[in-house]
Amino acid sequence: MSESKQMAGARSSELFAQAQQHIPGGVNSPVRAFRAVGGGPLFISSAKGAEVTDADGRTYIDYVASWGPMILGHAHPEIVAAIQQAAARGTSYGAPTELEVEFAQEIKSALPSIEKVRLVSSGTEAVMSAIRLARGFTGRDKIVKFVGCYHGHSDALLAKAGSGIATFGLPDCPGVPAETVKHTLTLPFNDITALEVLFKEIGSEIAAVVLEPIPGNMGCVLPKSGFLQKLREVTSEARSLLIFDEVITGFRLGRGGAQALYNIKPDLTCLGKIIGGGLPVGAFGGRADIMDYLAPVGPVYQAGTLSGNPLAVTAGLTALRILQDESIYRKLETQTTKLVSATNDAAKEAGIAVSINSIGSIFTCFFTDQKVVDWDSAKTSDTARFAKFFRVMLSEGIYMAPSQFEVGFVSAAHTDELLERTAKAARKAFKTLV
Ligand SMILES: *Cc1c(COP(=O)(O)O)cnc(C)c1O
């Protein structure tokens, strides 16, 4: 039996074989299939705090955190209780609720750039809708995105979109007509010159620039000093809108997200992941004059049967209220710093070249000796080495995202003891790579 075959237990492997008969690739989102690391996925049966348990009854320390939402850990008792109480009052009405007003106020209080906000059910919907709104509001078609940034799987944004697509080596996605993406221009992240040149040429035709202010979908990449400021400058000058996709960073790096950290006021902001407290929620919001361009006040149509769903909003509101306690963010950062420095030490000890990017409670350990500042430098990583590292970590009970180009998430439930177990596993894993 090959090493990769031994990763998932017998029950997970059996379930994966069954799943593949009924679900394309056996998964409902491609990266879950473990294709980049070999072997089949773990089927998860339950989760609590910082740990997940698979169908074979094995427990792992979890750094996937459902790809970001679970900042407070899994099955947080307050959130579970709130969902249970809400469910008893009915699970969907398709009508406005007081909860939505409270939720909008909660989001606005954390992100002052948001004057009005609309709820949707996923991050994909949030960014797709913000783009339509920006085009409608400005009367322009062109949008700019950055190579390696991911904004969900809507047609116009599926160009050079980082991890999910890169992992599968799909340069272009069949099914997306060329006409649909012809208005999508892509630039390298952190390249101020390329940005200035483009805006000098056609700034007046650009509806919006959309970006992850701190990209998480090519692994963790930090904006160079001055990059976000320059973006704000050139977009304001050209009357193009600046859209921050804070689906990962919103309420992850502090309540105010990346925009508070870098003191930049975008015109529109997209949220998702954490704001749903583990249930499906997305949101987009920003300047009132722009947001009022949406139906029913304005002409840009956008809608959703389950938008503002009372269960999802209850979970999200409960999570955001818990996160009003800023000490949670300080603790998260302390824990992440400990983990990153232990990982760095372990790599050094084994003589393995790594480049670790980290901020707040997110991190990526790139297997390269280069500084990673954009997609090109991220791609210098040795993905075969990452895959081997991943497999050893998994066998040691550490569940990381199964791709080099993702971030790891630390949650409020990651205790010192769990971090030490992770560091011990990393020391062992790095040594197997020599
Ligand atoms: C996850 C993600 C999305 C898409 O959100 P879904 O809820 O998966 O549709 C959009 N933008 C960023 C930055 C993301 O990380």
Q: Which CATH number fits domain 77-322: 3.30.390.50, 3.40.640.10, 1.10.510.10, 3.30.200.20?
A: 3.40.640.10
| Of residues 84, 81, 6, 75, the one with CA closest to residue 45 | 75
Only one residue has tokens 């160009």, namely 159
Place of tokens 């599968």: 168
Q: With a 6 A CB cut-off, is 247 part of the ligand 1 pocket?
A: yes
pLDDT tens string, the chain, 434 residues long: the values are 344 445 899 999 999 999 999 999 999 999 999 999 999 999 999 999 999 999 999 999 999 999 999 999 999 999 999 999 999 999 999 999 999 999 999 999 999 999 999 999 999 999 999 999 999 999 999 999 999 999 999 998 987 776 655 545 444 688 888 888 889 999 999 999 999 999 999 999 999 999 999 999 999 999 999 999 999 999 999 999 999 999 999 999 999 999 999 999 999 999 999 999 999 999 999 999 999 999 999 999 999 999 999 999 999 999 999 999 999 999 999 999 999 999 999 999 999 999 999 999 999 999 999 999 999 999 999 999 999 999 999 999 999 999 999 999 999 999 999 999 999 999 999 999 99
Task: Decide: 148 in ligand 1 pocket, CB within 6 A.
Answer: no
CA dihedral over 420, 425, 429, 432, signed as positive or negative: positive
Q: Is 54 a catalytic residue?
A: no
Same fold flag, 3-71+326-431 and 77-322: no
Element spanning 13, H or E:
helix 10-22
Which atom of ligand 1 lies closest to the CA of 249? 13
**Ligand 1 centroid distance, CA of 262 (Å):** 21
Instruction: State residue 164's pLDDT score.
Output: 58
Comparing CA positions, the residue from 152, 360, 116, 350 lying closest to residue 253 is 360
Mapping DSSP onto H, E and C, the string for 82-110 reads HHHHHHCCCCCCCCCCHHHHHHHHHHHHH
Q: CA dist 50 to 60, 289, 327, 418, Å?
A: 9, 42, 18, 8
Residue nearest to atom 10 of ligand 1 (CA): 151
Q: Please give the pLDDT value at position 116.
A: 98
Sequence-ordered alpha helix ranges (H) in 88-209: 98-110, 123-138, 163-167, 178-181, 192-202
Mutate to test the pocket of ligand 1, among 70, 125, 146, 151 (most ligand atoms within 8 A of CB): 151
The CA distance from 344 to 249, in Å, is: 24
289 in active site: no
Ligand 1 contact via 49 beta carbon (within 6 Å): no
What pLDDT score was predicted for residue 182?
Answer: 87
Between the CA of 282 and the centroid of ligand 1 the distance, in Å, is 9
Q: In what order do the strands lie in the sheet with 362-366?
A: 355-359, 362-366, 408-409
CA of 298 to the centre of ligand 1 (A): 26
Domain-by-domain residue ranges, the chain? 3-71+326-431, 77-322
Q: Is 150 considered catalytic here? A: yes
CA 275–ligand 1 middle distance (angstroms):
12
User: Closest Cα partner for 318 from 257, 274, 360, 284?
Assistant: 274
Q: In the prediction, which pLDDT does 4 show?
A: 44
Contact 218, 375 (CB under 8 A): yes
In sequence order, the β-bridge partners of residue 209 are: 144, 242
Give 29's DSSP letter. S
Query: Which pair of structure tokens corresponds to residue 73?
Result: 């850990």
CA separation for the pair 92, 312 (Å, rounded): 10
Atom in ligand 1 nearest the alpha carbon of residue 212: 13
The predicted structure's pLDDT at residue 382: 98
Report the alpha-carbon distance of residue 370 to residue 364 in Å, rounded: 13
259 lines ligand 1 (CB under 6 A): no
What pLDDT shows up at residue 6? 54
Class level of CATH domain 3-71+326-431: alpha beta
248 Cβ closer than 6 Å to some ligand 1 atom = yes
336 C-alpha to center of ligand 1: Å?
A: 22
The response to whether residue 246 sits with its C-beta less than 6 Å from ligand 1 reads no
**Residue where the block lists tokens 């949707």:** 120
Residues whose CB falls within 8 Å of the CB of residue 384, separated by 6 or more in sequence, listed in order: none
The first and second tokens of residue 419, run together, are 């971090």
SS3 assignment, position 420:
helix
